[in-house]
Amino acid sequence: MVTLSSFVHRTGNARIHFENLNLAGEYAPIAAYAQSKLANLLFTLELQRRLTEAGSPVRALAAHPGWAATNLQSKDANALRGVSLRLGNRLFAQDSEAGALPTLFAAVQDLPGASFVGPNGLFEVRGAPALVGRSAAASDPVTARRLWTVSEELTGVAFPEPALTARG
């Protein structure tokens, strides 16, 4: 299983706002995006822990496309930021096909669970798929478990407990 994230999870404002998950009254597009991508990495970390605990051979991995030139950057309501992002697409981004390669790489390579794949170039903006690092916040098992528990409560969906097997 591959979950999509972003290098933006490393930005200074990337944290899980447990007291206000929807950022009501303090919504900012970049902060919300960073939080969602951090949450995706924490989800992958906790899912892999649960899969391992259950004895499952399934692996949970994450990937990010780097800076891929897509329509995402053209949808910013802030006109100046939108122009900057579109210019960035032309100067720094790789095309959307290259942006898809880290996800494909994660899906087909034999990688350890909870691995994170992204472009291997400068600042992971572009390049060939490779294993990349995650922030300390995205590696915190306590926060990952907390987010998982909150998600179960909010959705009413729980991860099934592994079946107990008789011993000896």
Residue-wise DSSP of 136-154? SGGG-HHHHHHHHHHHHHH
Q: pTM of this prediction?
A: 0.88
Of the residues 33, 82, 88, 145, only one is catalytic, namely: 33
Would you place residue 69 in the very low, low, confident or very high pLDDT band (cuts 50, 70, 90)? confident
What pLDDT does 73 receive?
A: 66
The fourth-level CATH superfamily of domain 2-155 is: NAD(P)-binding Rossmann-like Domain (3.40.50.720)
Q: Hey, what are 109's tokens? A: 């390579």
pLDDT digits (tens, 9 = 90+) for 26-43: 998 888 999 999 999 999
Q: Is the pLDDT of residue 52 over 70?
A: yes
β-pair partners for 61: 2
Is it the case that residue 105 has pLDDT exceeding 90? yes
Question: Domain-by-domain residue ranges, the chain?
Answer: 2-155
Whether residue 119 is predicted with pLDDT greater than 50 in this model: the reply is: yes
Known catalytic membership, residue 33: yes
